[in-house]
């Protein structure tokens, strides 16, 4: 799939800027389009217009696209030889100066280079001096990368540190390692777009590695002009391997070109523009134009921030486009006396600081000036008023630069708010810690009780095991006895079922336990109708009173065997003579049961 550049792609870039505040218009088109096309290919989209529509319908896609475009490739002390040069040559020079040390890691990605700088300065001056003197600003356009910097790193990501830096500068929190809290206070992480936002000023060291290479030459020039303003006169610029800056020799000069380390050119060189003035023939005109050109030469042309330049005679020499838009200055005001213009006192008083700078020959700053734009929104600016001094020491003019610090003010407010929240969180953690300590003590007590209970349970378990062994032995005996009983029952049923006489087995309470088939045939009552019932309650035609006397006689220690011939009537109404034999079972005065045998006598036997 091949996607062509054109109006659809430019519309997509403008949509990203307007919808999400990411301005990619200054990025090199070839690499930018290649990355967007790669994402389109992953989604199966074959043109930028369709992808534009896809973004509008799927807002979550923005995060994926930005991660695709913003290449966050970094590590601790990346390009070790360059960092070694910074450690051995630049850091000693910076720390030797009096006062605070300000460092800006621009395009910091996930923060490794910012932390690398912090470690170098901690090693050089000690932690106490580091906290007292050093302030490190780490910024990037990618919020997700900044979140990673704040959240910490994995052990694998810290491998490039070397030495014992991980143990000395990072605390373990779960599976991640975060920069030590007390040292982290000297660092501020925040979102910053190099192509749009004002730079951080008064820097001793500016680290911006492998970021400019993705931008167009025009955008690079604008950013480098801001870097030039941001650095102190003796400050250093540290860029990546692919960034030479040789075409910007008027702004920066190499300190060590191989390692891409530069220093600021404090006094910009005159161009060969005054040669034309020699041909004018008018000394006054030449001097006037020369003065105008000199003022323009010393001013930062094309600066992305509002700038107003006044010459030594109080004439408005220039106001760049951002200044004209901010203050509504028409082009016809250029060349007029500042005192005659509304610009001199509205929205801020410019005449007083200009007079002070002209008198003292020193720059001054008015921080936090609130200026309302043409759209009615208020923004905060740091107003930097600087004298323009010629090589002969004469004052040729004054430059007034307005740096939008609205974002930094919001960032500072956020930092203050976060500091308060952290303090509140700290107090809550202390309270929670006390509660946890109390809970730990309770748990220790509970643990001792559980330990005691566990010991008792172990004792009970041993007793249960012993009891279980006894029960298993008893169970074995019962199985054996049950087997014997089953065999005896089987034998008994076999015997009673095959004899030719009726037989009944009674228990000690004279309840029927066995009633064989011959008894069922003889008396006309089934076995299941008799089992469990008292023998004397059975209506089978036998004289109950006579039998009762004989059967119960064996239970009181009397003869254990009795026989009686009685007249009986079966359920069919037939009269018979019946021999009843009762044999008592068991020993002792209370027998365990009685066997009753009932036999019908033949007529001839009955007569005998």
| Sign of the Cα pseudo-torsion (496, 500, 501, 502, in order) | positive
**Does position 89 have pLDDT exceeding 90, yes or no?**
yes
* Confidence at residue 88, expressed as pLDDT on a 0 to 100 scale: 95
Q: Does domain 305-404 have CATH number 3.30.450.20?
A: yes
- Residue 374 CB contacts under 8 Å (≥ 6 apart), including other chains: 325, 326, 328
**Does position 4 have pLDDT exceeding 60, yes or no?**
no
Greatest mean pLDDT among 108-122, 355-369, 530-544: 108-122
pLDDT tens profile 109-152: 889 999 999 999 999 999 999 999 999 999 988 888 888 889 99
* Confidence at residue 571, expressed as pLDDT on a 0 to 100 scale: 73
Q: Beta strand pairing status for 134-140 and 307-311?
A: unpaired
- What CATH code is assigned to 96-264? 3.40.50.150
Question: Domain residue spans in the chain?
Answer: 7-69, 96-264, 305-404, 411-498, 499-607
pLDDT over 90 for what percent of the chain? Answer: 18
Question: Which range has the worst mean pLDDT, 51-65, 160-174, 508-522?
Answer: 51-65
**Does position 294 have pLDDT exceeding 60, yes or no?**
no
3-state secondary structure of 244: coil
* Confidence at residue 247, expressed as pLDDT on a 0 to 100 scale: 64
CA distance 606 to 551: 22
Higher pLDDT pick, 375 / 366: 366
The pLDDT mean for the chain works out to 81
- pLDDT bucket at 272, cuts 50 / 70 / 90: very low
pLDDT tens profile 64-83: 776 676 666 688 998 899 99
CATH class of 7-69: mainly alpha
Region of residue 402 (left: phi > 0; alpha: psi -120 to 50; beta: else): beta
Q: Beta strand pairing status for 593-600 and 575-585?
A: antiparallel
**Does position 93 have pLDDT exceeding 70, yes or no?**
yes
pLDDT over 70 for what percent of the chain? Answer: 84
* Confidence at residue 232, expressed as pLDDT on a 0 to 100 scale: 92
* Confidence at residue 538, expressed as pLDDT on a 0 to 100 scale: 82
Nearest Cα to Cα of residue 570 among 540, 599, 548, 544: 540
**Does position 354 have pLDDT exceeding 70, yes or no?**
yes
Between 3.40.50.1980, 3.90.1150.10, 2.40.50.180, 3.30.450.20, what CATH number should domain 499-607 receive? 3.30.450.20
* Confidence at residue 263, expressed as pLDDT on a 0 to 100 scale: 93
pLDDT tens profile 439-452: 888 898 888 888 88
- pLDDT bucket at 496, cuts 50 / 70 / 90: low
Average pLDDT (295-319) is 73
CA distance 425 to 431: 10
Higher pLDDT pick, 438 / 288: 438
596, 515 in Cβ contact below 8 A? no
3-state secondary structure of 80: helix
Same fold, 7-69 and 499-607: no
Q: To which residue do tokens 């309650």 refer?
A: 537
Q: What strand order describes the sheet that includes 575-585?
A: 512-515, 502-507, 593-600, 575-585, 561-569
- Residue 53 CB contacts under 8 Å (≥ 6 apart), including other chains: none
* Confidence at residue 280, expressed as pLDDT on a 0 to 100 scale: 30
CA distance 222 to 302: 7
**Which helix (H) or strand (E) is 232 found in, with range?**
strand 231-239
Nearest Cα to Cα of residue 508 among 473, 555, 550, 544: 555
> Strands, E, within 258-411: which ranges?
261-264, 307-311, 316-319, 364-372, 378-389, 395-404
* Confidence at residue 277, expressed as pLDDT on a 0 to 100 scale: 34
Average pLDDT (461-484) is 85
Higher pLDDT pick, 442 / 486: 442
């Amino acid at each position: 799939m091949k996607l062509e550049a054109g109006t659809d792609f430019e519309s997509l870039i403008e949509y990203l800027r307007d919808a999400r505040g990411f301005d990619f218009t200054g990025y090199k088109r070839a690499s930018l389009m290649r990355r967007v096309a790669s994402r389109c290919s992953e989604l199966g989209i074959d043109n930028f217009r369709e992808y534009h529509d896809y973004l509008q319908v799927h807002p979550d896609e923005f995060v994926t696209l930005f991660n695709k475009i913003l290449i966050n490739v970094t590590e601790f002390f990346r390009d070790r030889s360059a960092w070694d040069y910074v450690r051995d040559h630049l850091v000693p020079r910076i720390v030797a100066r009096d006062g605070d040390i300000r460092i800006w890691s621009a395009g910091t990605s996930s923060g490794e280079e910012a932390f690398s700088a912090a470690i170098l300065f901690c090693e050089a001056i000690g932690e106490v001096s580091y906290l007292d003197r050093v302030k490190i600003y780490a910024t990037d356009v990618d919020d997700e990368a900044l979140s990673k910097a704040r959240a910490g790193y994995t052990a694998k990501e810290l491998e490039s540190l070397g030495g014992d830096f991980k143990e000395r500068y990072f605390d373990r929190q779960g599976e991640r390692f975060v920069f030590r809290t007390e040292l982290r206070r000297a660092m501020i992480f925040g979102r910053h777009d190099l192509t749009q936002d004002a730079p951080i000023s008064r820097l001793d060291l500016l680290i911006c590695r492998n970021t400019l290479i993705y931008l167009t030459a025009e955008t690079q020039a604008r950013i480098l002009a801001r870097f030039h303003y941001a650095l102190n006169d003796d400050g250093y610029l540290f860029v990546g391997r692919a960034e030479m800056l040789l075409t910007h020799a008027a702004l920066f000069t190499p300190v060590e070109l191989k390692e891409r380390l530069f220093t600021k050119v404090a006094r910009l060189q005159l161009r060969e523009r005054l040669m034309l003035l020699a041909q004018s023939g008018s000394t006054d005109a030449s001097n006037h134009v020369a003065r105008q050109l000199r003022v323009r030469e010393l001013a930062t042309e094309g600066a992305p921030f509002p700038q107003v330049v006044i010459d030594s005679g109080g004439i408005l020499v220039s106001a760049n486009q951002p200044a004209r838009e901010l203050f509504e200055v028409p082009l016809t005001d250029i060349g007029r006396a500042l005192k005659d213009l509304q610009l001199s006192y509205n929205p801020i008083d410019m005449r007083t600081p200009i007079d002070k700078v002209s008198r003292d020959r020193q720059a001054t700053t008015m921080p936090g000036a609130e200026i309302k734009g043409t759209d009615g929104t208020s923004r905060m600016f740091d107003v930097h008023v600087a004298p323009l001094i010629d090589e002969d020491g004469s004052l040729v003019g004054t430059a007034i630069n307005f740096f939008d610090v609205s974002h930094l003010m919001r960032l500072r407010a956020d930092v203050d708010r976060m500091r308060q929240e952290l303090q509140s969180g700290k107090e809550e953690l202390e309270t929670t810690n006390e509660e946890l300590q109390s809970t730990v003590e309770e748990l220790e007590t509970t643990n001792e009780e559980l330990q005691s209970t566990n010991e008792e349970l172990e004792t009970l378990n041993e007793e249960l095991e012993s009891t279980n062994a006894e029960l298993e032995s008893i169970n074995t005996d019962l199985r054996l006895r049950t087997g014997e009983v089953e065999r005896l029952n089987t034998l008994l049923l076999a015997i009673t079922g095959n004899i030719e006489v009726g037989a009944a087995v009674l228990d000690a309470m004279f309840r029927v336990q066995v009633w064989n088939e011959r008894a069922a045939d003889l008396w006309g009552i089934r076995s299941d109708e008799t089992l469990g019932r008292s023998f004397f309650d059975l209506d089978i035609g036998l004289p109950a009173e006579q039998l009762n006397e004989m059967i119960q006689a064996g239970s009181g220690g009397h003869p254990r065997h009795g026989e009686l011939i009685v007249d009986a009537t079966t359920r069919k109404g037939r009269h018979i003579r019946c021999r009843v034999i009762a044999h008592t079972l068991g020993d002792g005065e209370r027998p365990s049961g009685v066997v009753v045998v009932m036999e019908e006598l033949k007529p001839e036997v009955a007569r005998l």
